[in-house]
Amino acid sequence: MNMVGVEPPSLRDSVAKAEAPGFFFDRVAAARFTDLGCGTIFDGRLMDLAGRSVLLATSSQLATALALIELDGTARRLVILPPDSEAGHLGTVIERAEVDAVVIDDGTPPAPPLDLAVRVNSTPSIVPMDKTPSARHRTEWVLMTSGTTGVPKLLAHDLAGLSAPIQAHSPADGAVVWGTFYDIRRYGGLQIFLRAVFGGASLVLSNAGEPVADHLARLAGRGATHLSGTPSQWRRALMNPAISGIAPRYVRLSGEIADQAILDSLRGAFPQSVIGHAYASTEAGVAFDVNDGLAGFPVAYVGAIRDGVEMKVVDGSLRVRSPRAALRYVGGEQNLADADGFVDTGDILERRGERYYFTGRAGGIINVGGLKVHPEEIEAVINRHPQVRMSLVRRRQSPITGSIVVAEVVLKADRQGQGARPIDLKDDILRHCRAALPRHKVPAAISFVPTLGVATTGKLLRRQE
Amino acid sequence: MSIKLTILEQMEQIAREHGKILAPLKEDLVLADCGLDSLGFAVLVARLEDKLGIDPFTAAEDAFFPVTLGDFVKVYEHGGR
């Protein structure tokens, strides 16, 4: 299927044609977004934003979701500000993306003054519009990378590229209610937002600071059928008793390495569900989905062109050439792709038999006495231990080998305070590691912790030592 | 348990884990000949940091490492140099 050159309708055109009403639900309100076919949240000010480079700085996901539908096709450029963005970087973002207007709500922190600020309600009402806007821009969508340090990179996408994976994998099985642990202002969450909007489905959004149990209860209450999140977010959800209330038909993981332990745990929790993991990044877009319940992906995916996406492995690192990839960096010198149009993802692969497995990030390597170690490959082994829910492997400075690896481990909720003494359990986990890993990859020390930090990106927090 | 006994016990455990055979652990044993390799010592120092609360080598301003087992134990007993 060739997606290149196919221009999707604007989001507003798309919802105008919806056959059934679609809703966004958050903790406070429900909004029938299909009313935006001839309705607005902008109270007559939408056309003020026409043709501008608009910073979307709304604090609520609900207001963001509705504004995205209205601004696509109207704004020249849509710069989507993720939650918890560092205020100190905002000036650079505005300058690089030539922002000349901002959309805010009552929860937006004070922003630098711009020519034009349009305020919407954080729980907006959709009011009928006399006529839909006639201005037509091929809106550029600008997303920010989830880098933990420095100024975030700005990546330009268009709607055709962002929605290409959805047209290729449209679930057409009855009424769909999407839910996501992601924030829709990040690539992974935006994919789910677009699936809901294009699929005429509903979407359950989370609120800032909402406890996992409350979010799960709302997902259960709204009858969520399709649920997406990172492996870390799923591990955290599985630790919560409220998980028993949900029964999704489709469970999706992306954003981090889906190891066999989390796939098996989800299979155990949802025996009837389709459980799939996707590989995607803000730079390369969605490269592929895997739905066979196994970690990694078939080697046949590399070298072939599948749904227009081509992959190769160079020096162990996955490179992707894809119509779903970002178009370029905004306001930077750096090239996104190599001379052949491949984006280097920096995600390192290892071939075992007829499958490739992700072992970690090129930038995340720990050097133990000259030997390279990816923390993620050790975590995948620790997570296979039957009493472990999740783990974090990090570097500890060593006067002898420069670095050494140590692990923090969260036990499964039903195993805590039971059975073996902690010291015996540590020994057992270490024995399990020694059986599967070379010596330099076995953690020098293990500590049990009640929880591990998960960033707003949904990824495990890897603090720098 | 004394610091010395803790150190000897950890050395024996790491040797078991790493499949190494330790020389008799006497005061004047030269560490380079004790049977643990550099990774074994790296693990030892990390474990002792957890057990005893100090890593006297990383805390030190200049690089040094004792030659004999007796010196190694003393470094921990003195909490660094």
Task: Give the tens place of pLDDT for each residue, B15-32.
Answer: 999 999 999 999 999 998
Per-residue pLDDT at A261:
94
pLDDT in tens, A242-283: 999 999 999 999 999 999 999 999 999 999 999 999 999 999
Q: Domain A365-448, CATH 3.40.190.10 — does that match?
A: no
**Amino acid of residue B49:** E
Mean pLDDT of A428-434: 95
Q: CB within 8 A of A333, min separation 6: which ones?
A: none
Residue-range domain boundaries for chain A:
11-352, 365-448
pLDDT(B81) > 60: no
Quote the number of domains for chain B.
1
Nearest to A401 among B17, B39, B47 (CB): B39
Residue A463 in tokens: 């603090």
ipTM: 0.87
A370 to chain B: closest CA residue: B39
The mean predicted confidence, pLDDT, of chain A is 90
**Amino acid of residue A376:** E
Judged by a CB distance cut-off of 8 A, whether residue B62 touches chain A is no
pLDDT in tens, A386-407: 999 999 999 998 888 889 999 9
Task: Name the more confident of B12 and A114.
Answer: B12
- Give percent above pLDDT 90 in chain A: 74
Task: Name the more confident of A199 and A220.
Answer: A220
Task: Name the more confident of A115 and B3.
Answer: B3
pLDDT band of A115, cuts 50, 70, 90: confident
Per-residue pLDDT at A415:
54
Quick check: pTM over 0.90?
A: no
Give the distance, in angstroms, between the CA of residue A22 and the centroid of all CA atoms in the same chain. Answer: 22
Give which of B43, B50, B52 to mutate to test A binding, by max A Cβ within 10 Å: B43
pLDDT band of A357, cuts 50, 70, 90: very high
Backbone angles phi, psi at B69, to 5 degrees: -60, -40
How many other C-beta atoms lie within 10 A of the C-beta of residue B35? 17
Q: Which CATH number fits domain A11-352: 3.30.70.260, 3.40.50.12780, 1.20.120.10, 3.40.250.10?
A: 3.40.50.12780
| Euclidean distance between CA atoms A219 and B22, whole angstroms | 58
Give the distance, in angstroms, between the CA of residue A400 and the centroid of all CA atoms in the same chain. Answer: 39
Q: For residue B39, list chain A residues with Cβ-Cβ distance below 8 A.
A: 368-369, 400-401, 439-440
Q: Do residues A454 and A232 make contact, with C-beta atoms less than 8 angstroms apart?
A: yes
Nearest to B45 among A369, A399, A430 (CB): A399
User: Taking each helix axis from N to C terminus, what angle separates B3-18 and B69-77, rounded to the nearest 10 degrees?
Assistant: 130
Closest CA relative to residue B57, chosen from A396, A215, A199, A238: A396
Per the structure, the complete domain to which residue B59 belongs is given by 3-77
| Euclidean distance between CA atoms A49 and A135, whole angstroms | 10
| CATH at B12 | 1.10.1200
Q: Do residues A173 and A147 make contact, with C-beta atoms less than 8 angstroms apart?
A: no
Judged by a CB distance cut-off of 8 A, whether residue B45 touches chain A is yes
Question: Given an 8 Å threshold on Cβ–Cβ distance, is B50 in contact with A447?
Answer: yes
Judged by average pLDDT, the poorest of A8-22, A264-278, A284-298, A377-391 is A8-22
Three-class SS state of A415: helix
Nearest to A400 among B18, B41, B47 (CB): B41
